[in-house]
């Protein structure tokens, strides 16, 4: 018997930064995002002994722990160790874990958080725990952000767990996921007009988040004004999407990026600014760096008739174009009998 899980990665259209504590606890945050056709996947195979064997197919790393061994955070698959420790080493016996993601950490697509959600899903299914989607997302957030101390916001865990196009509210005492009923023709049009480009550079989001939080705590006026304006733009983008005003959606994406860059000086750099300037010149209505910023993937909204020209120019400048399809489902787990 095998247990499998997959959790989708996400693109964030607007609101990133307002989900990073302490801003949501003090002023409330909101994010508009959608999951895509890239996944963090995992397989759990029960063993006849008590050993736990972890295999990262992305990094080519395998670790084996016997019952008497201690899990030590040493930079080697710490996300997996933290999930196992938090959810308890099972009295159901040992197991092999096989893990893989379509995108590496630092890509800006929420890959590490999606992997944490997939891990929680695997262990939940193995231990037969009656966790709701909200509980899965919250547990994944607690493990990554609090147990491991990895800086970041709340949005990724909820996006990966729930899936689809969501307007997520981050309030002082709870998170509310509003699943948006976006018609199929609007989804199709988004997929026709959106362009996802890998810029060829990874980034360490922790330093960007540290800078943003520090500015917020110091009550830096530019950062405060930018975060508050981003909240307003997130609402406006949600309305434009639901009203089928997609060109307006693209223009608001540009406005959101201009304000996002004011949150921290580390969010963009001259190379990314030049890429975006060229994309706009060639016909992109708007765009942004996904995730915390600093590198990874650039998301662009283009006039469809000009999209091919933008794509060719981005490739000439060293970017890789990624096929983009929106994924309606969140975390999925299932069992394979007789495997």
**Is 247 annotated as catalytic?**
no
- Please check whether residue 126 is in contact with residue 84, taking contact to mean a CB–CB distance below 8 angstroms: no
Q: How crowded is residue 130: how many other Cβ atoms within 10 Å of its Cβ?
A: 6
- Please check whether residue 137 is in contact with residue 118, taking contact to mean a CB–CB distance below 8 angstroms: no
Gap between the terminal Cα atoms of the chain: 5
Considering 49, 69, 133, 156, which one is annotated as catalytic? 156
Helix (H) or strand (E) holding 328: none
Instruction: Report which DSSP code applies to 147.
Output: I
Buried b (16+ CB within 10 A) or exposed e, 1-16: eebbbbbbbbbbbbbb
- Please check whether residue 156 is in contact with residue 120, taking contact to mean a CB–CB distance below 8 angstroms: no
Across the chain, where does the E strand assignment appear? 2-14, 29-46, 52-56, 61-65, 95-101, 165-170, 175-179, 194-198, 284-289, 297-302, 320-322, 332-336
Distance CA 45, CA 96 (A): 5
The helix/strand/coil state of 57 is coil
Which residues have a catalytic role annotated?
156
């Amino acid at each position: 018997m095998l247990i499998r899980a997959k959790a989708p990665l996400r693109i964030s259209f607007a609101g990133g930064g307002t989900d990073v504590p302490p801003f949501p606890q003090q002023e409330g945050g909101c994010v508009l995002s959608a999951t895509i056709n890239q996944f963090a996947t995992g397989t759990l195979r029960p063993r006849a002994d008590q050993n736990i064997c972890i295999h990262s197919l992305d990094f080519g790393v395998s670790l084996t722990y016997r019952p008497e061994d201690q899990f030590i955070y040493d930079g080697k698959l710490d996300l997996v160790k933290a999930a196992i420790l938090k959810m308890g080493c099972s009295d159901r016996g040992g197991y092999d874990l096989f893990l893989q993601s379509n995108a590496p950490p630092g890509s800006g697509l929420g890959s590490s958080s999606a992997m944490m959600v997939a891990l929680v899903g695997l262990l939940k299914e193995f231990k037969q725990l009656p966790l709701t989607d909200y509980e899965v997302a919250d547990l994944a957030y607690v493990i990554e952000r609090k147990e491991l101390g990895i800086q970041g916001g709340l949005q990724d865990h909820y996006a990966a767990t729930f899936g689809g196009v969501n307007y997520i509210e981050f309030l002082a005492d709870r998170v509310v996921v509003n699943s948006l009923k976006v018609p199929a023709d609007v989804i199709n049009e988004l997929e026709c007009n959106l362009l996802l480009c890998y810029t060829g550079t990874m980034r360490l989001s922790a330093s960007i988040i540290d800078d943003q939080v520090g500015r917020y705590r110091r009550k830096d006026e530019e950062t405060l004004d930018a975060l508050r304006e981003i909240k307003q733009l997130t609402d406006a983008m949600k309305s434009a999407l639901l009203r089928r005003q997609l060109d307006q959606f693209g223009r608001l994406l540009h406005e959101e990026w201009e304000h996002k860059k004011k949150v921290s000086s580390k969010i963009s750099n001259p190379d990314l600014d030049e890429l975006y300037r060229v994309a706009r010149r060639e016909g992109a209505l708007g765009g942004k760096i996904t995730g915390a910023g600093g590198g990874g993937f650039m998301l662009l909204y283009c006039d469809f008739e000009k999209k091919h020209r933008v794509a060719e120019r981005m490739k000439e400048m060293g970017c890789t174009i990624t096929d983009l399809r929106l994924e309606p489902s969140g975390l999925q787990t299932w069992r394979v009998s007789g495997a």
